[in-house]
Structure 1
């Protein structure tokens, strides 16, 4: 495969999608993030599937395990999902007895999502598998580069909250 930093002029006769690395889109941050995300999601979904989860349900479970007791509305806002998607994710996890809904002591109209003991056990096993998958996906980066990428992505991921109003 063509190294993304190489010019098409330096590589003779590529075929298939490899030749597309010579197009201008490889300088588009949105494209690069989307492509890296697609690769990362595919691998993470494969890893999470070993535990009966997908990335989204794994993420909700991870947050529930953190003992932050998020409301479904908070989950929807944080994950940038429609509230109906959160309901479906929590329903799925609840049907497997991995989480439960409890009344929010601050707002009786809302529910908080809490991990069960089984949910904690499944999360612990899934986390180990997903983390191993991440090591594979991001293995092309040094530890320092991975930490820098994580720092930059955290900043980018938090920025839209300030921009969307």
Structure 2
């Protein structure tokens, strides 16, 4: 028998609890989890297509259209024609979108500090470094051939 549980067995309950902790914060900022995911994925530079955005956050490209419509109506994102390909749209965060995203993220991370405070500084740094490294892996490297 292995000396540790499977990674998914350890991560899944933690991920569900972290999402449950984020939901009230997101509601306070007028965002759904998908809307927040879009704002995070767009970062500071435009993405060329809705399909690329959907893939980057693990959403179905047809399902994300309503999320983008709402974010645009609220003035949080812009969809502008790509000068290099008029059929494509560039997706970008507006200044208001950045403000809302940054405020929500700051509140979420304040809550996360309670959890991270349970670790020694050395363990915390190692945990965050390892998590960043694993999160940066391409999906097919995790799922295998």
- TM norm structure 1: 0.71
What are structure 1's unaligned runs of at least 5 residues? 1-23
SS in 1 for 2:90: strand
Report the Cα offset of residue 72 of structure 1. 1.6
Report the Cα offset of residue 39 of structure 1. 0.8
On the 8 A contact 1:48/1:126 being kept in 2, the answer is yes
Counterpart in the other structure of 1:48: 26
5 Å-filtered alignment, 1:52-71, equals 52-64=30-42, 66-70=43-47, 71=49
On the 8 A contact 1:47/1:133 being kept in 2, the answer is no
On the 8 A contact 2:78/2:92 being kept in 1, the answer is yes
How many equivalent pairs are there? 140
Counterpart in the other structure of 2:106: 128
Cα distance change, pair 142–101 in 1 and its aligned pair in 2 (3 A):
farther
> Structure 1, residues 30-89: CA drift from partner, whole Å, max 9, x if none?
11111110011111222222101133311211333x322013222112112111232222
1:160 lines up with 2:127 in the alignment: no
Report the Cα offset of residue 151 of structure 1. 2.8
Aligned with 2:53 (options 59, 65, 75): 75
Over the residues paired in the alignment, what is the CA RMSD in angstroms? 2.4
In terms of fraction of residues, the more helix-rich structure is: 1
